[in-house]
């Protein structure tokens, strides 16, 4: 295999992994959440045996869905923002502003990763109230999301730098 083909294969593998983590998994989480809530209603109202774990499980699935989804939103550059200032800037100034934004975002994400890891280390063994699973399974969502977001925003910063150089 040529170097070029090997590189293309790596890119495909990477893109496939990202889509699995940021698209397939959170989509499944949404559907699972739906099933859990419907199951909870059924057990409570029809069989009058409400499950103790359903509420907590649904919330935990939701939290993971939001954090993985946030990485997807960033990758698609769809984060909600008020962009009337950048839109009115000339192209080069806009690129510079967006690069400053990326640096600011990276700074926050590094702090978030630090905080997330510290919280994980402190909290991971504490059992959850209802399901009594280690809380690490929940609180890992923050550092995982921060890593994914760091990757996307580093990529977007690099793209901005390249476009500045090109001109």
Q: For binding to another protein (CB under 8 A), which residues are involved?
A: 23-24, 26-31, 33-34, 37-38, 40-41, 45, 55, 58-59, 62-63, 65-70, 72-73, 76, 78-87, 97, 101, 104-105, 107-108, 111-112, 114-116, 118-120, 122-123, 138-139, 141-143
CB nearer to another protein: pick between 14 and 114: 114
Give CA torsion, residues 12, 18, 19, 23, to 10 deg: 180
CB of 134 to another protein, least distance (A): 15
CB of 12 to another protein, least distance (A): 20
CB nearer to another protein: pick between 23 and 163: 23
Give the length of the chain: 167
First to last CA, the chain: 35
What Rg do the C-alpha atoms of the chain give, in angstroms? 21
CB nearer to another protein: pick between 72 and 157: 72
CB of 154 to another protein, least distance (A): 14
CB nearer to another protein: pick between 1 and 78: 78
Give φ, ψ of 134 to 5 degrees. Answer: -60, 135
Q: What is the DSSP string of 121-139?
A: HHHTTSBPTTT--BTHHHH
CB of 82 to another protein, least distance (A): 5
CB of 91 to another protein, least distance (A): 15
Q: Which of 23, 52, 54, 29 is nearest to 39 (CA)?
A: 54
* Number of CB atoms found within 10 A of residue 95's CB: 18
């Amino acid at each position: 295999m040529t170097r070029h083909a090997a590189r293309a294969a790596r890119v495909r593998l990477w893109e496939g992994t990202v889509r699995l983590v940021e698209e397939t998994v959170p989509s499944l989480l949404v559907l699972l959440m739906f099933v859990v809530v419907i199951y909870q209603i059924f057990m409570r109202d029809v069989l009058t045996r409400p499950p103790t774990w359903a509420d907590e499980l649904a919330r935990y699935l939701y939290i993971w869905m939001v954090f993985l989804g946030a990485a997807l939103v960033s990758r698609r550059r769809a984060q909600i923002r008020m962009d009337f200032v950048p839109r009115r800037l000339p192209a080069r100034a806009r690129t510079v502003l967006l690069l400053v934004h990326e640096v600011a975002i990276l700074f926050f994400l590094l702090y978030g990763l630090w905080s997330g890891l510290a919280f994980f280390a402190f909290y991971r063994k504490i059992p959850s109230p209802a399901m009594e699973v280690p809380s690490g399974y929940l609180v890992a969502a923050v550092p995982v999301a921060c890593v994914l977001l760091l990757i996307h925003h580093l990529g977007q910063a690099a793209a901005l730098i390249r476009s500045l150089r090109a001109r």
